[in-house]
Amino acid sequence: MAGSYSGRLQGAGTPFDWPEAIGFGRQPFASFPAGADACVAGSQGVALGIFGWINPVTFQVTNARSSGAILGFVLPVFNMYNWQRAFPQRSPPPVGRQLILRAGLECIVALAGDFVTTFPLGALVGSRVWTDPATGVPYGEDHGGYVATRWTVMQNGCGCNARLRISSFVKPLH
C-alpha cells in the first residue's frame, strides 16, 4: 500500500488513507510547481491534511491566509527515514488534534485532487468545501468569512470530526 511502512500509515494519515477496494493505491493530484526550491513549512510549521496557503515568492506554506497567497491542500513529503518531521498538537475546539510539520521542512501543496480530511462540524455530499482563513480547517458551509475552495464534499458525514472524502474534479451541486 502506498504510504505505508511495516503496516503503519505514514505522513498526515488522512490524505493517503485509501481502501484497497478501489483498486488503486493513490488517486491522482496536481501539486504547486515550486521548482528546485520546493514548498516548505512556514516559521510556525504547517498542519497536514487540511488547507494551507503558499507564499508565491518565498514558497513558505502556512495554514493562515496572507495577501497574495495561493490556496491548496497540504500533503507531507514522507519516507521511512523522516518520521520525526511531524508532531501531534492539540488545537482549540472544534479542531482537536492535528499533525504539524516542523518549520522549514518540505511539503507538497495540492492544487487539485481527491483527499480525505476531517470536518469539525460534519458536511453534506455535494456541498462546496469552505476553509477558515485563520486555520485552514475545512467546513461544509460558510460560517461567515470563510474562503470557498475548488473542492466538493463527496460523502455525507454527521457529527463532529467526520472524516470525509473531498474532490476538486467534481463541481458542487449548489
CB of 151 closer than 8 Å to CB of 119:
no
Top pLDDT among 159 and 1 is at 159
The predicted structure's pLDDT at residue 14? 41
How far apart, in whole angstroms, are the C-alpha atoms of residue 125 and residue 129?
10
Assess whether pLDDT exceeds 90 at residue 9: no
Cell of 60: 513558505
Assess whether pLDDT exceeds 60 at residue 126: yes
Place of cell 472524516: 163
Strand ranges (DSSP E) for the chain? 4-5, 8-9, 29-31, 39-41, 46-47, 51-54, 60-62, 70-76, 86-91, 96-101, 106-119, 128-131, 138-139, 147-153, 162-167
The predicted structure's pLDDT at residue 1? 37
The predicted structure's pLDDT at residue 16? 45
How far apart, in whole angstroms, are the C-alpha atoms of residue 109 and residue 138?
15
Share of the chain above pLDDT 70, in %: 67
* pLDDT, average across residues 101-124: 88
CB of 142 closer than 8 Å to CB of 130:
yes
Top pLDDT among 98 and 24 is at 98
3-state secondary structure at position 36? helix
How far apart, in whole angstroms, are the C-alpha atoms of residue 152 and residue 102?
29
Cell of 148: 470557498
The predicted structure's pLDDT at residue 33? 66
The predicted structure's pLDDT at residue 128? 94
Report DSSP letters for 152-167, one per residue: EE-S-B-STTEEEEEE
Maximum average pLDDT range among 59-68, 102-111, 113-122, 152-161:
59-68
Assess whether pLDDT exceeds 90 at residue 143: no
Domain locations in the chain as residue ranges: 4-167
Assess whether pLDDT exceeds 60 at residue 82: no
- Give the CA count within 13 Å in the CB-facing half-sphere of 101: 30
Assess whether pLDDT exceeds 70 at residue 138: yes
Residue 79's pLDDT band (cuts 50, 70, 90): low
